[in-house]
Homo-oligomer: A and B are copies of this chain.
Amino acid sequence: MKGKIFIIEDEASIIQLVQHNLEKEGFVVSSSLNGNEGLKELKKFEPNLLLLDWMLPDLSGIDICKNIRRDSNFKSLPIIMLTAKGEEEDKIKGLESGVDDYVTKPFSFNELSARIKAVLRRSDPKVVANELIFEDLKLDRTEKRVFRSDKEIQLGPTEFRLLEFFLTNPKRVYSRDQILETVWPNNVNVESRTIDVHIRRLRQSINIEGKKELIRTVRASGYSLI
């Protein structure tokens, strides 16, 4: 999991292309084909970044943008605008209304991907960082290795993703549902108690002799990385 991205775009083909490729890169992606519903879903989804089409059937991209900026919970949500060629003049207006970057259609996926990473690197480095560190715990994404106090730890794929998830937001408590949504592949149905077992496995692996427990149970709420 590298982070969550939401897409509001009325061309299904674009959504499909972008969503598929972003998921391949490890992002969790959700999308909507129109503005009003998109806004609602977005706020539920809590993405790390929004890809927003300029021209939508109902709301204009700029209205969505303004709405988001007015909402204190999403004031600083990074937004990348997708504009069609020839909307050049609007660009400046777009940037003024709080857009972080824009990409003109048609674009290659690589171009978009590069922009996304650049924006995320500025706004929320943890999302794209290669090394996630918390106290004496270190996770290396490209090497797929985990260390506790410089001692390497072996984790199964699920435990790895679970730890990666916690490391992108240490101290924050996540409910079992939230964990399921982001750590497990979409549309997989597992018992919520299954998470307890994985938490146990993760704890067992990362708790080394003499070092303190790193995963905190918050009764009736979920778990957090201390």
Contact = CB atoms under 8 A, between A and B. Distances in A.
A84 interface: no
Contacts of A71: 114, 118
Contact of A118 (B73, B110, B121, B156): B73
Interface residues of A, number: 27
A96 interface: no
Contacts of A204: none
Interface string A182-221: 0000000000000000000000000000000000001111
A148 interface: no
A86 interface: no
A71 B125 CA distance: 16
Contacts of A221: 144, 157
A43 B73 contact: no
What secondary structure prevails in chain A residues at the interface with B?
A: loop
Contacts of A220: 157
A50 to B, nearest CB: 15
B156 A219 contact: yes
Contact of A110 (B43, B117, B173): B43
A157 B218 CA distance: 9
Contacts of A40: 108, 111
Interface in A92-148: 108, 110-111, 114, 117-118, 121, 142-144
Contacts of A13: none
A46 interface: yes
Contact of A111 (B44, B72, B108, B224): B44
A20 interface: no
A3 to B, nearest CB: 16
Interface of A: 40, 43-44, 46, 71-73, 108, 110-111, 114, 117-118, 121, 142-144, 156-157, 171-173, 218-221, 224
8 contacts: A43-B110, A44-B108, A46-B110, A72-B117, A73-B114, A143-B172, A157-B220, A157-B221
